[in-house]
Chain A
Amino acid sequence: MVTNVLIPIEDLLFEDEIKEFLVQLNTLLFRLKILHVLDKNEAVMSWSSSEYITEGEALVRTFGEHLKDYFPGIQVETAVRDGVVKEVIANEAGAFSADLILMGTHGRKGIGNFLLGSTAKEVITLAPCSVVILRSKKSHSFDKTQKVAGANQSTGN
């Protein structure tokens, strides 16, 4: 059985977690689609949209190549879309007839690590299929060191 997995990415932060998770799935007959969504709400004025698109295409290509190296013979598609992130991801999952959406959560907005990323939560509410939310191990350890640094500062004062 072929499992269609849609992987929306924003950066390469979750590469290791995504590989690790895919290895554990029951099949190695994946069809992967790597998607990068350009959020119109967050457009930086100094960047032209074409720069954004080139950057996004480079990102999905790099990620796709990493996955192809890791799982030889696997079918990887890439796409860069623009629009409202949650809607684009949900629509793409429908069009790709995805069995699974695999995404990481930064949880950056709000109180950092404590909150679930807002995009991740919105995707869950709209998704037509199961969603796997991955936590970054790197950001976890980073947050811990941050907290320690903060504690030292406060004791120093």
Chain B
Amino acid sequence: MKVLVAIDEDEFVMPIVDAVARLFGGPGKTVKLLNVIDTSTFLNDLHDQSGPGKTRKLLETQLKKAAFMLKQTRINLLCEDDSFEVEESVLVGTPHRVILDCAEEWNADVIVIGAHSHGDNTRLRVSSVSTAVLKLADRPVTVVSLPKSAESKGSTLVQQQTSLPSFAT
């Protein structure tokens, strides 16, 4: 079985690793860890005075960061289940398109993506990339529910603190 795992931020590595190991662990499974560097946002930089040089530098840092994150993910995944065969891949382009193309090319049996909340406390918001993948995929897609992102963590902590006394009374 071939599992394509798309990871976008390093804070979500552990929940995704946990879910992949729990759901797809066991012998004979190949996992491809994929990070896509979104170059659709780089286009603006081309019109910048400092131009392509700046863009290249930005791209280089992002590539390094992504490679490090995937290595970390690989180690974590193998700690959970060492029977996985793990591949790493950093690609550049428009995220949902790259994820879908990669799934087709690699002939993935399932795509794993994360969905996390951005600010709103009650509902899990599915990012635009995840939504696009879900809409357009022609194979099973696993959506792992992730903890709230860093900015909203503060607000939930505050909320918990304020709600605690009322809970006690």
Contacts and interface: CB of A to CB of B under 8 A. Distances in A.
A135 B100 CA distance: 14
Contacts of B135: 107, 114-116
A135 B138 contact: yes
B98 interface: no
**Ordered nearest first, which 3 A-B pairs have the shortest CB separation?**
A26-B26, A26-B25, A131-B143
B160 to A, nearest CB: 18
Interface of B: 1, 19, 22-26, 29, 109-110, 115, 123-126, 131, 134-135, 137-145
A124 B117 CA distance: 11
B123 A126 contact: yes
Given A99-B22, A121-B134, A127-B145, A21 B140 contact: yes
Contact of A132 (B29, B124, B140): B140
A99 B23 contact: yes
11 contacts: A21-B140, A26-B23, A26-B25, A127-B143, A127-B145, A130-B142, A130-B144, A132-B141, A135-B138, A135-B139, A140-B138
Given A99-B23, A125-B123, 18 more contacts: A21-B110, A24-B110, A26-B24, A26-B26, A121-B126, A121-B131, A124-B115, A124-B124, A124-B134, A124-B145, A130-B23, A130-B143, A131-B142, A132-B110, A132-B141, A132-B143, A133-B143, A140-B138
Contacts of B24: 24-26
A58 interface: no
A1 B25 CA distance: 11
B126 A125 contact: yes
A92 interface: no
Interface of A is mostly: mixed
A78 interface: no
Interface string A130-157: 1111110000100000000000000000
Contacts of B140: 17, 21, 132-135
A125 B23 contact: no
A12 B123 CA distance: 30
B18 to A, nearest CB: 10
